[in-house]
Amino acid sequence: MAALLDVKNLGISFGGLRAVNGFDISIEKEELYGLIGPNGAGKTTVFNLLTGVYKPDTGKVLLDGQDITGKKTIDISKAGIARTFQNIRLFQKLSVLDNVKAGLHNKHHYSTIEGILRLPNYRKVEREMDEQAMELLKVFNLDQEADLTAANLPYGKQRRLEIARALATEPKLLLLDEPAAGMNPNETGELMEMIRFVRKNFHMTILLIEHDMKLVSGICERLTVLNFGEVLAQGKTTDVLNNPQVITAYLGE
C-alpha cells in the first residue's frame, strides 16, 4: 500500500546553518504518527517545509502520490494538508461559526460581485457553509458557542475550534503542532480522546509534534525522533521511546 505522505531527503539551511538535513518519513493512510525531539530539533521547521511556509533546498514531498515539493501554502492546502499551530491562531474577533466557515472557503465559491450584491448564489453558498460549519461544531461540542467571539472561548475550546477549522478544509493529512501545549492533565486527556475520535470518524491521517510523552505514547503508533535537524530514531512508539540514544537526547546525558 502506497503511503499517504512520503518524504525523502528533505532539507533546508538558514544562513549556512543546516536546520533540517536528510529528513525521511513515510506515513500510511489513517495512521496516527508522532514527530518528537528536544527543543530546537527542527520539528516545526519540518511542518513549515511540508506546508509551504519554507521551500526546501533538497528532497521531495509526495502527498497521496502528488508531488507538492516547494508549492505555495494555498496550493498545498488545496492538495490536502491542514495544520494547527503551537500558539493558537484563530480569527479572535470573529465568531466561532465564522472561524469554521473560513476553513470551508477551500470548497465553496462565489464571485466578489455576487458577495457585494448579495445575489442568489452568494446566499445559497453562505447557507450551505452555515449548515456544514454547524455540523462540525456539533461534532466538537461547540455548537452552543457558535455565536460567541472566538477570543471569549476557554483555552481548551479554542484548541478544539482550531482543529475543527482545519478539518473544514477536508484535508487528507492533519498536522498538529503541540496540541497539548498549555493544557492541564484533564484537558490533555480530553484532547487524546478527541484526536482518536478525529482519526476514526473522519478517517484522518494525523502527524503530530508533541512534548507530552504520555500523550505521545498513548495515541501514536509510530514515531520519528529529530535531533539537531536529523532523524535520530524511527519506528514503533514503544521501541523508539526505549531507545538509549533517544533517552540520552531528551535527558542530555
Closest CA to 88 of 182, 171, 11: 182
219 and 248 share one domain: yes
- Report the alpha-carbon distance of residue 208 to residue 56 in Å, rounded: 20
144 and 100 share one domain: yes
Last residue of a domain, one of 128, 152, 170: 170
40 and 150 share one domain: no
pTM of the model: 0.88
3-class SS at 176?
strand
164 and 176 share one domain: no
242 and 183 share one domain: yes
- Report the alpha-carbon distance of residue 18 to residue 227 in Å, rounded: 12
Contact by Cβ (8 Å): 198, 32 = no
Domain-located, residue 87: no
Give the dihedral sign, CA 87/57/39/177: positive
Last residue of a domain, one of 155, 170, 185: 170
Contact by Cβ (8 Å): 129, 104 = yes
25 and 148 share one domain: no
25 and 132 share one domain: no
- Report the alpha-carbon distance of residue 47 to residue 42 in Å, rounded: 9
Contact by Cβ (8 Å): 100, 136 = yes
Neighbours of 252 (CB within 10 A): 6
**Structurally, how many domains does the chain consist of?**
2
**Domain range holding 99?**
92-170
48 and 75 share one domain: yes
122 and 109 share one domain: yes
Size (the chain), residues: 253
User: Which secondary-structure segment (H or E) carries 27?
Assistant: strand 17-27
β-pair partners for 224? 35, 234
Name the one residue in this structure whose C-alpha cell is 503541540: 178
Domain-located, residue 182: yes
CATH, residue 249? 3.40.50.300
Residues with Cβ within 8 Å of 96's Cβ and at least 6 positions away in sequence, in order, are: 137, 142, 145, 146, 147, 148, 149, 150, 153, 161
Question: Residue 145 carries which DSSP code?
Answer: G
252 Rama sector, left if φ>0, alpha if ψ -120 to 50, beta otherwise: left
Domain-located, residue 86: no
Q: What is the pLDDT of residue 102?
A: 84
Domain-located, residue 205: yes
Mark the ranges of the chain whose per-residue pLDDT is less than 50. Answer: none
Domain-located, residue 222: yes
Q: What is the pLDDT of residue 243?
A: 92
For residue range 88-133, list pLDDT tens digits in order.
888 888 899 989 888 876 565 555 565 566 666 666 766 777 778 8
162 and 176 share one domain: no
Q: What is the pLDDT of residue 80?
A: 94
Q: What is the pLDDT of residue 60?
A: 97
Contact by Cβ (8 Å): 246, 225 = yes
Give Cα 122 distance to the centre of its chain.
30
